[in-house]
Amino acid sequence: MIIRPKVNQFAILFTLKGSIAKRIALRALMVTLLAAGIVLVEILHPSSFTKVSATPFTLLGLSLSIFMSFRNNACYDRWYEARKAWGEVIVHTRSVMRETQVIRESVHRRPLLLNLCGFAHSLNARLRRESEAVASAAWITPKLDAEVPDYSGRILHQIGEQCGDLQQSGELSEWRYMLLANHLTSLTQAQAVCDRIKNTPLPFPYTLLLHRTIYLFCILLPFAMAEPLGWLTPLFTAIVSYTFFGLDAIADELEDPFGRDENDLPTDALVRTIERDILFELGETELPPVLMPVDYVLS
């Protein structure tokens, strides 16, 4: 995720970090060169150049803008819902930390909280298609078989068993055990939300239709602008293609908010927050440093 101070009106025109311009530069350049070629043909052979009305492009551009805004809103909703789910993970992790303060023996409380930290690492790796077992190996006790289904869920199951053992031994009252069980259920729900977002992309035909329409619009637009605008056509084509290609590329990034693109969620930083909270709660004095943006990018 891009974290940077507010830039002034002049600098914002030339800011590339976090901009989508690098991803769409080649496409926009190709369409602009095509527009220049069409203008050249119109100037050299005006008699063979068919005049095209701009009215259909006005209507098509307006419709395309509306449909693209629907897609971008849907993708942003996915991004924001994923951020709220990770917020729930942090909230319920801290709630478990507070509810387990009554456990007198640190030998019982420490592995429970470390397992909770292991769950955060495992969930982060799961959403990035990385090894959950490797990511959580330094935290969970006892170790789990790397081949178990729903590895992150099994860590929560293991924490639930630990809470159950503490309730049976009298370390936890029954009502406090129920509170902890509710927090673990909420963590399971947050995991399910993240899994749903990760494993359910936007309908492909809808995305494909917009992709094709954007390309057709940007390629055909110079034919309507070449005769009335002349050599201004490549400039206006570049502006229109930058806008449409850019909105399309932004939606592609936001559709999967758990990756490593510049505008994806900073899940590594969120996991580090959980890690620091738990280690501090366990009395550790040397905490891992807070993750800071590197070249304005917080991972």
Asked if the model's pLDDT at residue 170 lies above 90, the reply is no
Looking at per-residue pLDDT, the higher value among 183 and 260 belongs to: 183
What region, left, alpha or beta, does residue 7 occupy, with left being phi > 0 and alpha being psi -120 to 50 degrees?
A: beta
Cis omega before residue 111 (within 30°)?
A: no
Alpha-helix residue ranges (DSSP H) falling in the chain = 21-44, 55-99, 106-127, 132-136, 151-169, 174-199, 204-229, 233-255, 267-281
CA distance 143 to 101: 24
Report, as an integer, the average pLDDT of 181-207.
93
Q: For residue 39, how far is the Cα from the chain centroid? A: 41
- Could you give phi then psi for residue 255, rounded to 5 degrees? -60, -35
Residue 284: CB partners within 8 Å, gap ≥ 6?
none
Asked if the model's pLDDT at residue 184 lies above 90, the reply is yes
Q: What is the per-residue pLDDT for 5?
A: 67
- For residue 207, what pLDDT band results from cuts at 50, 70 and 90? confident
Confirm if 163 and 181 have CB atoms less than 8 A apart: yes
Report, in angstroms and rounded to the nearest whole number, the Rg of the chain calculated over CA atoms. 27
CA distance 139 to 76: 33
Q: What is the per-residue pLDDT for 6?
A: 67
Q: What is the per-residue pLDDT for 132?
A: 93
Q: What is the rounded average pLDDT for all residues in the chain?
A: 87
Asked if the model's pLDDT at residue 104 lies above 90, the reply is no
Asked if the model's pLDDT at residue 298 lies above 70, the reply is yes
Residue 186: CB partners within 8 Å, gap ≥ 6?
88, 92
Structure tokens at 57: 């492009």
For residue 294, the cross-strand partners are: 297
Residue spans of the domains in the chain: they are 84-201+267-287
Q: What predicted TM-score, i.e. pTM, was given to this entire model?
A: 0.88
Q: What is the per-residue pLDDT for 18?
A: 64
Asked if the model's pLDDT at residue 192 lies above 90, the reply is yes
**Mean pLDDT lowest for which of 5-14, 16-25, 193-202, 258-267?**
5-14
Asked if the model's pLDDT at residue 279 lies above 80, the reply is yes
Q: Over the stretch 260-269, which tens digit does the pLDDT of each residue have?
A: 888 889 999 9
Q: Over the stretch 13-40, which tens digit does the pLDDT of each residue have?
A: 666 666 777 888 898 999 999 999 988 8
Q: Over the stretch 234-248, which tens digit does the pLDDT of each residue have?
A: 999 999 999 899 888
